Amino acid sequence: MWNISIPGNKPPVKPWPQIQDNKPTYKFLHLSDIHIDRQYAVGSEAYCELDDALGTYALCCRDYSADASSTRTKTKPIYVPAGPWGMPYACDLPYQTFEAALKQISGAHTD
């Protein structure tokens, strides 16, 4: 077991400062950890763990039918097809969803 000494004399908690009416304020948009997949394929398998117990797929929602090392062929059924705006499985975001989000944000927040 480790013993860790925590020093005392913690500074007191201060309240947030009040912004004066004549001071300018700023707005900003913080988008964090956006994963865009430019190879996202609508209609491809979104839940590829069903088909791939060995984990050879790096990402779902991609068309691996032309990949010679892939076990999925065009004859295998798609169980969970990838939708046009994204899927909640092992898929990154389609570019069109990211682009539509930015257009909506810029239209709704013109300031």
pLDDT (tens digit per residue) in 6-28: 888 888 899 998 888 888 888 88
From CA 84, how far away is CA 43, in angstroms rounded? 8
Does residue 108 carry a pLDDT above 70? yes
From CA 40, how far away is CA 53, in angstroms rounded? 21
Confidence of residue 83 (pLDDT cuts 50, 70, 90): very high
Structure tokens at 73: 């062929």
Structure tokens at 97: 């969803």
From CA 111, how far away is CA 109, in angstroms rounded? 5
Predicted local confidence at residue 24, as pLDDT: 83
Ramachandran region, residue 32 (left: φ > 0; alpha: ψ -120 to 50; beta: rest): beta
Q: 46, 58 in Cβ contact below 8 A?
A: no
Structure-derived torsion over alpha carbons of residues 42, 60, 37, 69, reported in degrees to the nearest 10: -100
pLDDT tens-digit map of 28-80: 889 999 999 999 999 998 887 765 555 556 678 988 777 665 555 555 678 88
